[in-house]
Amino acid sequence: MEFFHSVPRFRFMAQRRTCYIVSALLVVGSLGAEAFHGLNLAVDFTGGVVVEAAYSGPADLDRTREALRSAGYGDVAVQSFGSSRDVLVRLPPLGASESAGTVTQKISTALKTIDAGVQIRRTEVVGPQVGKELVVKGVTAMAVTVLLILVYIAFRFRWKFGVGAVLATLHDPFVVVGVFAITGMTFDLSVLAAVLAVIGYSINETVVVFDRVRELFPIMRKSAPIEVFDRAINETLSRTVITKLATLIVVVALYGFGGEALKGFGLALIVGILAVTYSSMYVASGVALDLGSSHRDLMPAERRAPVDDLP
């Protein structure tokens, strides 16, 4: 079976300016969503208390809230989680007077007044300072990753390609985070890991296209750089589509069947893969092209020596 029987001839690079605008809108939109809608950060980052409990029958959220209020926890978020029997209780960070142990104890006692058979499946108590550090660490990790990749690409290709790759790469996590801001899904540690994986994946994609560009430049010496880039994208298009489908298959399985704990991780990767596909084709190549990548940038060094000087 084959989707592309011959190499297609789409003119990707002709649309790159439009794509810059689209990308800029995506990034601005994502930032806007984060600013106005806010990101639903998990306790991992904000600090606080989370209790996951399973009732023996369908959960009554209002009664749960009521029970917690009479236990002294007015400022509490209660939502259903996964099945109709499971609830997730979330509290802001603890005051200095309360210890992690007593809070979880009090919550479970409160829930038992509704249903004696309630099962506490998970409790998490995170201090606010731990969360703050995680945010700093996460941002640092992203910055270091991007920087190292820029260095690697600049070393393996040319700096113009490095800049293109990094811009495309930076673009993808914005899109992912933006989707989490809009949908209001919880952004937790595993989603952060997924975002970092998307960064790696994005580079992976860009490199495949650039590798083809590098290969084509010496062969297509007479052609304009834009044609080289177009042909490189077209020649790798079949592989791009198949690989994306293959990865999407497993990631969708994670999203759909991995349970509540892997849902966010799965969604981040689904969005990430779609963003990566787009950005590796348009943004990375477009930027490398607009920075003036030409034959000279990628020709082997010895061929660049002036041959005409010889008698």
Pick out residues in 203-222 that bind another protein (CB under 8 A): 203-205, 207-208, 211-212, 215
69 binds another protein per the rule CB under 8 A: no
CB of 283 to another protein, least distance (A): 16
User: Does 97 contact another protein by CB under 8 A?
Assistant: no
Residue (28 or 250) nearer to another protein, CB? 250
- Total number of residues that touch another protein (CB under 8 A): 76
Q: Which of 14, 113, 257, 303 binds another protein (CB under 8 A)?
A: 257
Closest to another protein by CB, 15 vs 234, is 234
Q: Does residue number 238 form part of the binding site for another protein (CB under 8 A)?
A: yes
Residue with tokens 């409160």: 110
Give the separation between CA 169 and CA 171, rounded to whole angstroms. Answer: 5
Stretch that binds another protein, among 34-42, 226-234, 260-268, 289-297 (CB under 8 A): 260-268
| Shortest reach from residue 204's CB to another protein, in Å | 4
Q: Does 145 bind another protein (CB under 8 A)?
A: yes
Write down the least CB distance from residue 141 to another protein, Å.
4
Residue closer to another protein, measured from CB, 19 or 153: 153
What are the CA-CA distances from residue 44 to residues 49, 88, 107, 121, 189 (Å)? Answer: 10, 15, 19, 17, 6
Binding another protein (rule: CB under 8 A), the pick from 114, 120, 182, 185 is 120
Binding characters for another protein, 159-198, by CB under 8 A (x = yes): ------------------------------xx-xx--xx-
- Pick between residue 170 and residue 262 the one whose CB is nearest to another protein: 262
Which residue number, 33 or 125, has a Cβ lying nearer to another protein? 125
Q: Is 92 in the site for another protein (CB under 8 A)?
A: no
If one asks whether residue 258 binds another protein (CB under 8 A), the answer comes out as yes
